[in-house]
C-alpha cells in the first residue's frame, strides 16, 4: 500500500512539475522512446568513410512547446523521429539557423524572384526552355532553386506557342484518361502528366517525302509503357511505346477545328505537324473573343495564385506532385518513392495540435504540423511542409512542379513563409527557422542569404549573429560560437588574432560533459532511420557515476504510469540500474535537464 501511495504521489508530482516548468501551460504530454546512438554515413560529402554519430528519439507524442525547446538545442524531426548528430564526429558540422522575420532584409535576387512571379501571374513573363533545361536539375536545395530560365520573352507570338503546348498537353492527358476509363490502359496506375515540347526549326524537316513541318512532339508513350511494365500489368496486346502512341494519336484526331495541326505516331512519339507556311504558331482555342492577335491589341492572360494552409494529412494530389518532384529533381527511382515512405517522412507528426482557442499566443490556425499549398489557376504547383510552433515557423521541406523551376519556387515559398510570420499576429511567434546551416557544404550555404540570420552555439545554446559566425567558420569547420563571439569582441575583427586563438584553444577538452548541436539535411533524414546501430567501445563503456548528470528527476513512463526515476530506482537490480542510469545520463545531456523533467522517457 505504501509503495502504491509513493508511486501515485510521484506521478502527481511529475504532472505538477510539467505545469510549473512549462512556460506555455500544460497542453498535453510528450512521450519519447530513446533509440540510442547510431552511426550513419555523411550526406554532405562524397567520401564514403565519413560518418556521424547521432542520438535519436522516437516520439509517441510531443507538445509544440517541448519541440520548440528541442529545436533550440539543435534537434530536428523526420516524421515521428527526432535526432541530434554529434558534431564532433561528423565531417560536415551543422548549425541551427534562424531569422527574426521583422528584421528580414530581402536581397536583390530575392526581390527579383518576387517580381518574376508577379510578371508570371500577370501574363507578361513567358519562358522558353532549351533542350538542356528540360533535363532535370540535380540541385536538391530546399530554398535555393537556381534560375533555369534560358531566355525570357514577352509578346503575343511566344504566348501563343506556350498556350499551344499547354493545350496539347492537356488534350493528351484527356486522351489517357479516356483510355483508362475504357479499359485500354490500366486504371490503377497513376500515369505522369504529358509534356509537349516545341521542336527546334533546325530539326523540323523530315525526309523529302514529308511535306509537313514538325512543330511539337511528346514522349509520354514511353513513360506510360514504362509505368505499365514496372507495375507488371499484362494486357491482350503488349503496351509498348509504339502501340500506346498509336492509341493516343487516334483519340487526338478529334481535336477542335481551330487547331491547324495534324497528328501522327512516329517511333513511339506523338508528333504534331503543320501544313501551313506559318512558323511555329498554332491557332489555339481561346475563351477570349477578338480578331487576329497583334502587338497593339495584345492582352496577356492573367493567372491566379492561391496559398492554402492545411493541417498535415495525406492528400493524393500532393503525393503525386511529391513523387514527380523526387523522380525528376532528385533522380529517385519510382519504386523508392512510395506512399509509406512519403507518409513517414512528411505526413506523420508527433506534434499535439493546439487550436487558437487553446493558447492566447496561437495564431488563427493554431500550433502544430501543416502543409502550405501553392495553387496556380487551381493547379497544385508546390507544397511547403512546416511546423508552426510557439516561437517560430520551422520550415521542414518543400516540393514543387519541375516544369516551373524557372519560378524559383523554393526561394519564393521561403519569402512567403517569412511574410506569414510577420503577419500571423502572434506575440510570441517571431522567428523563421530554416533548418541547418552547413558552412563546409557549398550547396547548403544558401540559407545564409536570408539576412540577418543567427546560428545556434553548439555548446552554450546561445544565438550568435551569422556575420560573426562566418568569420569563425571560414577558419575552422566547428567552433563554439558563443565563446569565440565574445573573443572576437575582445580581439577585434583581426582574422589572424582569431585564428591564433582558435589554434591555441581546444573547445573539446577530454572528459567534457557538454553536448554539441547536431547536423542534418532534409533529404538525408530518412536514410538515418535505416542506419546501423553504433558499435564499439563507445556504446558499451559505462560512464563513472560521479561524472553523470543528476537523473533522479527524469520522468519515467512505466506500465502506464509516469514516475520520477528517484521513486523507482530501488525497483531495479544493480546492473540494470547502472545501465539505465548511463542511458538516462546521455538522454539528459542531449535534451537538457528541464526537458528531461517534463517529457516522459518511456521504458515500457
Over residues 531-548, mean pLDDT: 48
Count of other CB atoms within 10 angstroms of residue 7: 18
Over residues 543-572, mean pLDDT: 87
393 vs 251: which has the higher pLDDT? 393
Q: What is the pLDDT of residue 165?
A: 84
pLDDT tens per residue, range 334-366: 999 999 999 999 999 999 999 999 999 999 999
- Taking the whole predicted model, whether its pTM rises above 0.75 is answered as no
- Calculate the dihedral angle through the C-alpha atoms of 72, 78, 81, 87, rounding to the nearest 10 degrees: -50
Q: What is the pLDDT of residue 147?
A: 34
pLDDT tens per residue, range 516-530: 222 233 333 333 333
Provide the 8-state DSSP code for 451.
B
Judge whether residue 395 has pLDDT over 90: yes
Q: Is 87 exposed, middle or buried (0-12, 13-18, 19+ CB in 10 A)?
A: buried
Judge whether residue 502 has pLDDT over 50: no
Least reliable range by pLDDT among 27-41, 108-122, 385-399, 479-493: 479-493
pLDDT tens per residue, range 129-152: 433 344 333 333 443 333 333 333
Angle formed by the axes of helices 241-252 and 220-230, nearest 10°: 130
Judge whether residue 104 has pLDDT over 80: yes
List the domain boundaries for the chain: 2-93+514-602
Over residues 102-114, mean pLDDT: 95
Nearest residue to 533 via CA among 44, 40, 33, 75? 40
205 vs 54: which has the higher pLDDT? 54
| Calpha distance 282→293 (Å, rounded) | 12
Mean pLDDT, the chain, integer: 77
Q: What is the pLDDT of residue 12?
A: 38
Judge whether residue 278 has pLDDT over 80: no
Q: What is the pLDDT of residue 352?
A: 98
Which region holds residue 195: left if phi is over 0, alpha if psi is between -120 and 50, else beta? beta
Judge whether residue 479 has pLDDT over 80: yes
Over residues 477-486, mean pLDDT: 77
Sign of CA dihedral 142, 147, 152, 157: negative
Proportion of the chain in helix, strand, coil states, percent, rounded to 5: 40, 20, 40
Count of other CB atoms within 10 angstroms of residue 9: 13
In sequence order, what are the residues at sequence separation of 6 or more whose Cβ sits closer than 8 angstroms to the Cβ of residue 396?
A: 77, 346, 385, 386, 387, 435, 522
Angle formed by the axes of helices 220-230 and 156-181, nearest 10°: 30
Contact 163, 154 (CB under 8 A): no
Q: Is 175 exposed, middle or buried (0-12, 13-18, 19+ CB in 10 A)?
A: buried
**DSSP output for 265-326:** EETTEEEEEE-SSS-S------SS--SS--TTT--PPP--EEEEEEES---HHHHHHHHHHH
| Calpha distance 253→242 (Å, rounded) | 17
| Calpha distance 229→116 (Å, rounded) | 40
| Calpha distance 358→26 (Å, rounded) | 10
375 vs 530: which has the higher pLDDT? 375
Amino acid at each position: 500500500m505504501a509503495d502504491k501511495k509513493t508511486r501515485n504521489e510521484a506521478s502527481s508530482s511529475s504532472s505538477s512539475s510539467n505545469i510549473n516548468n512549462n512556460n506555455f501551460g500544460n497542453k498535453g504530454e510528450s512521450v519519447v522512446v530513446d533509440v540510442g546512438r547510431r552511426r550513419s554515413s555523411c550526406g554532405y560529402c562524397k567520401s564514403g568513410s565519413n560518418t556521424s554519430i547521432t542520438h535519436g528519439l522516437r516520439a509517441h507524442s510531443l507538445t509544440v512547446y517541448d519541440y520548440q525547446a528541442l529545436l533550440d538545442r539543435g534537434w530536428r524531426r523526420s516524421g515521428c523521429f527526432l535526432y541530434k548528430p554529434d558534431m564532433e564526429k561528423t565531417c560536415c558540422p551543422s548549425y541551427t539557423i534562424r531569422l527574426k522575420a521583422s528584421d528580414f532584409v530581402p536581397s536583390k535576387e530575392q526581390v527579383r524572384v518576387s517580381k518574376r512571379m508577379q510578371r508570371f501571374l500577370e501574363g507578361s513573363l513567358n519562358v522558353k526552355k532549351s533542350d538542356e533545361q528540360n533535363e532535370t536539375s540535380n540541385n536538391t536545395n530546399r530554398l535555393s532553386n537556381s534560375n533555369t530560365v534560358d531566355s525570357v520573352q514577352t509578346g503575343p507570338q511566344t504566348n501563343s506557342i506556350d498556350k499551344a503546348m499547354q493545350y496539347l498537353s492537356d488534350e493528351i492527358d484527356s486522351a489517357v484518361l479516356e483510355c483508362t476509363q475504357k479499359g485500354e490502359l490500366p486504371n490503377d496506375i497513376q500515369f505522369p502528366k504529358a509534356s509537349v515540347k516545341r521542336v527546334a526549326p533546325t530539326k523540323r524537316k523530315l525526309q523529302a517525302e514529308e511535306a509537313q513541318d514538325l512543330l511539337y512532339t511528346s514522349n509520354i508513350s514511353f513513360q506510360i509503357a514504362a509505368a505499365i511494365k514496372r507495375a507488371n500489368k499484362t494486357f491482350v496486346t503488349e503496351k509498348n511505346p509504339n502501340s500506346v502512341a498509336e492509341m493516343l494519336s487516334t483519340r487526338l484526331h478529334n481535336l477542335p477545328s481551330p487547331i491547324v495541326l495534324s497528328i501522327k505516331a512516329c517511333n513511339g512519339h506523338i508528333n504534331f505537324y503543320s501544313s501551313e507556311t506559318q512558323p511555329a504558331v498554332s491557332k489555339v482555342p481561346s475563351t477570349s473573343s477578338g480578331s487576329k492577335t497583334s502587338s497593339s491589341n495584345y492582352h496577356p492572360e492573367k493567372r491566379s495564385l492561391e496559398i492554402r494552409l492545411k493541417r498535415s494529412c495525406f492528400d493524393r494530389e500532393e503525393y503525386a506532385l511529391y513523387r514527380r518532384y523526387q523522380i525528376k529533381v532528385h533522380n529517385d527511382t519510382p519504386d523508392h518513392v512510395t506512399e509509406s515512405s512519403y507518409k513517414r517522412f512528411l505526413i506523420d507528426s508527433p506534434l499535439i495540435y493546439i487550436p487558437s482557442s487553446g493558447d492566447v499566443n496561437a495564431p488563427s490556425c493554431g500550433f502544430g504540423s501543416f502543409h502550405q499549398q501553392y495553387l496556380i489557376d487551381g493547379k497544385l504547383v508546390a507544397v511547403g511542409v512546416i511546423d508552426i510552433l510557439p516561437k517560430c515557423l520551422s520550415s521542414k521541406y518543400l516540393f514543387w512542379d519541375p516544369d516551373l523551376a524557372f519560378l524559383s519556387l523554393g526561394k519564393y515559398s521561403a519569402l512567403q513563409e517569412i511574410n506569414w510570420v510577420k503577419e500571423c499576429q502572434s506575440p510570441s511567434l517571431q522567428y523563421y527557422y530554416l533548418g541547418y546551416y552547413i558552412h563546409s557544404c557549398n550547396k547548403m550555404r544558401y540559407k545564409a542569404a536570408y539576412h540577418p540570420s543567427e546560428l545556434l552555439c553548439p555548446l552554450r545554446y546561445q544565438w550568435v549573429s551569422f556575420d560573426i559566425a562566418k568569420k569563425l567558420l571560414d577558419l575552422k569547420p566547428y567552433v563554439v560560437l558563443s565563446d569565440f563571439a565574445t573573443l572576437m569582441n575582445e580581439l577585434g575583427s583581426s582574422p589572424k588574432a582569431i585564428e591564433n586563438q582558435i589554434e591555441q584553444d581546444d573547445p573539446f577538452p577530454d572528459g567534457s560533459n557538454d553536448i554539441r548541436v547536431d547536423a542534418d539535411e532534409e533529404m538525408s533524414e530518412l536514410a538515418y532511420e535505416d542506419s546501423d546501430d553504433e558499435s564499439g567501445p563507445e556504446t558499451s563503456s559505462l560512464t563513472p557515476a560521479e561524472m553523470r548528470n543528476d537523473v533522479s528527476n527524469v520522468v519515467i513512463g512505466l506500465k502506464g504510469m509516469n514516475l520520477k526515476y528517484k521513486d523507482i530506482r530501488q525497483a531495479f537490480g544493480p546492473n540494470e540500474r547502472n545501465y539505465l542510469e548511463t542511458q538516462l545520463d546521455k538522454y539528459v545531456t542531449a535534451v537538457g535537464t528541464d526537458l528531461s523533467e517534463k517529457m516522459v522517457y518511456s521504458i515500457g
